[in-house]
Amino acid sequence: MKIQAPTLTPVLIAACVAVAFRTSLGDDRSALEPLFIAGRGHTLLQEIAAGEVWRLLTPIFIHFGPVHLLFNMMWVWDLGREIEKRNSPWFLAGFVALVGISANIAQYLASGPAFGGMSGVVYGLLAYIWVRNRLDPNAGYVLHQYDVLTCMGWYVLCWTGALGPIANWAHTAGLIGGLAWGYLETMLVAARGGLLRRPQFVPQTEAPEKSAQSSQQTSVVRRFFSGSLFISLAVLAGLVALVLLLR
């Protein structure tokens, strides 16, 4: 596989930095209004029907404060590069758009239009790389266990409410979106015979082709469900925290 230099990842970071300057890191309400998913007192469908379709995505470029901006840009640089250099800028663009819009809509439905940040996309990138590495030995993405533990620890901490108002539903939607995308892509690769096969003993009474295919599918499913337990528990913890907060 040809490894290519990232081009879209720096553009995403530059866009976030530009929006941060334009909105005074989230302090300029008048500059923020056109970027929120919906205007004050309006519904999502009203805005979109009026032609302001950019609002579905632009909240991901909004950041509130230097720490918020720096933290997200560090992860975008690390995770975005990994995906872009092994696929293409177009692949990353589609991923960011789909996961970003899903995360924005989820957060809007949960808390209204006044939110922003790239963290929903970051969780999607993290989950996608994790699943691809977990299920496909040939995926080749670089993702350290420490990074996974850090992000998931932060995810759970945000749901406790100890850090103040956080776009937790955007995080959750991004996480689920990345897991789903990575899993479905791996199943597609497996269906095309693109997964590496591990050497194994095949009884003489069993057809080698059938045995290899069956073992490969069983291995993929087993590795997905055993390895996804940690992230599944984190998502469940978030949902439980939400229920407790709403009671």
| 247 Cβ neighbours under 8 A, 6+ residues apart | none
Q: Which of 49-58, 141-150, 192-201 has the lowest mean pLDDT?
A: 192-201
Residue 143 in tokens:
């993702």
220 vs 129: CA distance, rounded Å: 15
Predicted confidence (pLDDT) at residue 228 exceeds the cutoff of 90: no
Residue 198 half-sphere exposure, CB side, CA atoms within 13 Å?
Answer: 11
What's this model's pTM, rounded to 2 decimal places? 0.79
The pLDDT value given to residue 161: 87
Active site residue 171: yes
Question: Could you read off the pLDDT of 23-79 as tens digits, one per residue?
Answer: 999 999 999 999 999 988 777 778 888 899 999 999 999 999 999 999 999 999 999
Highest mean pLDDT: which of 48-52, 84-88, 116-120, 202-206? 116-120
128 vs 185: CA distance, rounded Å: 9
Catalytic residue among 63, 68, 119, 228: 119
Catalytic residue among 63, 68, 102, 171: 171
Rounded to a whole number, what is the distance in angstroms from the first to the last CA of the chain?
51
The domains found in the chain, sorted by start residue, are 8-196+207-246 (1.20.1540.10)
Task: Determine contact, residues 44/115, Cβ cutoff 8 Å.
Answer: no
| 61 Cβ neighbours under 8 A, 6+ residues apart | 15, 16, 19, 35, 116, 118
Predicted confidence (pLDDT) at residue 227 exceeds the cutoff of 80: no
Task: Determine contact, residues 166/172, Cβ cutoff 8 Å.
Answer: no
Query: How do the residues of the chain divide into helix, strand and coil, expressed in percent and rounded to 5?
Result: 70, 0, 30
Predicted confidence (pLDDT) at residue 240 exceeds the cutoff of 50: no
Question: Could you read off the pLDDT of 85-109 as tens digits, one per residue?
Answer: 999 999 999 999 999 999 999 999 9
